[in-house]
Amino acid sequence: MFARALKDSALMLLGVVLIALGLDLFLVPNKIAAGGVSGIATILFHLFHIPVGAGMLALNVPLFVWGFLRLGLGFGVRSLIGTVLLSVTVDVLAQFLPVPTADPLLASLYGGVLVGVGLGLVFRAKGTTGGTDLAATILRSYVGINVGQLLFLVDGAVVLAAGFAFRSPELAMYAMITIFVTAWVIDVVQEGLGYTKAFLIISNKSHEIARMILNELNRGATLWQGTGAYTGTARMVLLSVVSRSEVTRLKDVIYRIDPQAFVVLANVHEVLGEGFKEYRG
């Protein structure tokens, strides 16, 4: 338990530092307000010279009150730690870091990557840094569904506000690039790059194909009973997960045995279990 808590704390600290670097090095100096609380704080910094970290902390106060009332003390404490840590880190590092580029495209890309990696690590540590991810957790407790689209609209509103505040539609466009890059990188950090492929195979010779997968590829396979919706014919459905390098070999196995097989090939972000990766928490 202690080792797990230590690992989560280290991940969260690293994630917070990376987020702060993305903001201080790239996004804030180039007026890229990529949605959420940090985007609003960026606007306030350039218009009223309010430190970004202090602005983020002040904006998060109403969310914390809401979180305490809705989800209890434990949730609020975990979120408060992440938010205070990020706010302090942003303002402390901003005093010492140079601005490596004035190119808004480079800033939007590199800032998005750093913030995305940082948020991904924070989420893997089961933490939050306040802002829209805190709002998402609270809203999810009400509606019980993914509120990603709602939050995307909120981020879009912040981006539009920044475009008006800075009188630059181009900065709003760069901010949208940052939002997409950040979202993609968060998924990569949490789910992996998708080096594996899943085969869903419908065939009259599923048992033969399964044996060949076990013997030739040394991979596992799962069979279950399926029924064609149109024909009503019962057929076995076969599922097997392989690495990228084994895709062509498995196709050869399938169509050597049954040229009429119906195959669905899909990307798999992460596979846990025998023959792949062990879950370590």
Q: Output the tens digit of pLDDT for each of the chain's 281 residues.
A: 677 778 888 888 999 999 999 999 999 999 999 988 999 999 999 999 999 999 999 998 888 888 777 777 666 666 778 889 999 999 999 999 999 999 999 999 999 999 999 988 988 887 778 777 677 667 666 765 555 566 777 788 899 999 999 999 999 999 999 999 998 898 888 777 666 889 999 998 999 999 999 988 888 899 999 888 888 888 889 999 988 778 888 999 999 999 999 999 988 877 776 666 666 66
- Domain locations in the chain as residue ranges: 2-191, 196-268
Its CATH class, for the domain covering 196-268, is alpha beta
Q: What is the pLDDT of residue 277?
A: 64
The Cα–Cα gap between 164 and 158 comes to 10
Angstrom distance (rounded) from CA 10 to CA 90: 18
What is the reported pLDDT for 5?
76
Q: What is the pTM of this model?
A: 0.78
At 218 the pLDDT is 87
Check residue 1 and give its pLDDT: 67
pLDDT of residue 75: 60
Around Cβ 110, how many Cβ atoms within 10 Å? 20
- Both tokens of 227, joined, read 């029924």
Asked whether the beta carbons of 104 and 30 are under 8 A apart, the reply is yes
What pLDDT is attached to residue 16? 95
pLDDT of residue 137: 65
How distant, in Å, are the alpha carbons of 39, 100, 128, 183 from that of 110? 16, 11, 21, 13
- Residue 165 token pair: 């505040």
